[in-house]
Structures are given as C-alpha cells and as structure tokens.
Amino acid sequence: MSVERLRTSLHCPACGFRIAARTTVCENCGAVIPVAELAGSGVVSNAVATLLGRPLGSLSLLEIARILAWVPLLVGPPIAALAIIGLKVSQQPQRLHDRAWQGPALVAALNIALSLIVWHYAAQEIGAAATALWTHIDRLAPTALPAGPGKGVDI
C-alpha cells in the first residue's frame, strides 16, 4: 500500500470507488490499483494512452495479461501474464473454461516457447561468430607481433 493511497482516502485512482486498504483490483471498474497509481504519474500514462488509446489506469487485469502475453523475444512479460492468469484462475476456477482467459494463456505459453527457441539459435549463431572472430584474431596475432629474443638456455 502506498502513501498516496492513504492520502486519497482509499478510493480507486481510476474511478473513485471506495476500496479496502489491501485491495489490488477495484471491484467497480476492474482497474489494477498499483497500475492506476502508477498511471497518475503522467509520463507512463501518456505513453500508454498514446500506444493503446486508453489511459493506463483503465486497463483490467485481463487486458494487462493480454498485452504482456504478446511481448516478443522477452520471456519475462509472458511469464508475468501467466502469473496473472494463474492467480485469477486460482481465485475463480471457472475462469479456466473462459476463452477470454484461455487465449492470453495460450499466447503467453507459445510466446515463451518460441522466444526460447529463437534465443537458443541466436546463442548458437553468436557463439559461432565469436569462435570465428577468435580464430581470425589468433591467426593475426603471431604475424602482428615481432619475435623476441629467446629467454631459454641453449643446449
């Protein structure tokens, strides 16, 4: 719970509905309270409003999970989407059969799998490029440095 929530007399920053001290989701509008508080900062809210056409504080958990599920090549956001979906499904198991919650879960799982495949091949390519670069540097090193006098004892 933030200090700002205490100052606002425990009202939802998005719709003004009265909320409990430990509430994370507004019962009235479905806004995520920490996200709605962050949206009050202005800069983040303006960027999200420009991208999505809606203020950040007005997004529901399902919409946040949907957005996070579609972030490519980063494994963290789809994992966060699966965590949100898992938390909400554990609170209400009937959501498991709701297509609105199944879709983002499937997209997030596929995104994680495809991202890991891409990163696996990218790591192989980067490793091969580094090995080739090291081989070229190793070939140049003996010719670039002049041979110094030997320090060993002649036999």
Per-residue pLDDT at 8: 45
Q: Can you tell me whether residue 100 is helix, strand or coil?
A: helix
Would the pTM count as exceeding 0.75?
no
The pLDDT of residue 78 = 94
Domain ranges of the chain: 1-59, 60-141
| pLDDT tens for each residue of 65-112 | 888 898 888 898 999 999 999 988 998 999 889 999 999 999 999 999
CA distance 151 to 77: 59
CA torsion through residues 93, 111, 56, 33, sign: positive
The set of residues, in sequence order, having a beta carbon less than 8 Å from that of 2 and lying 6+ positions away, is 34, 37
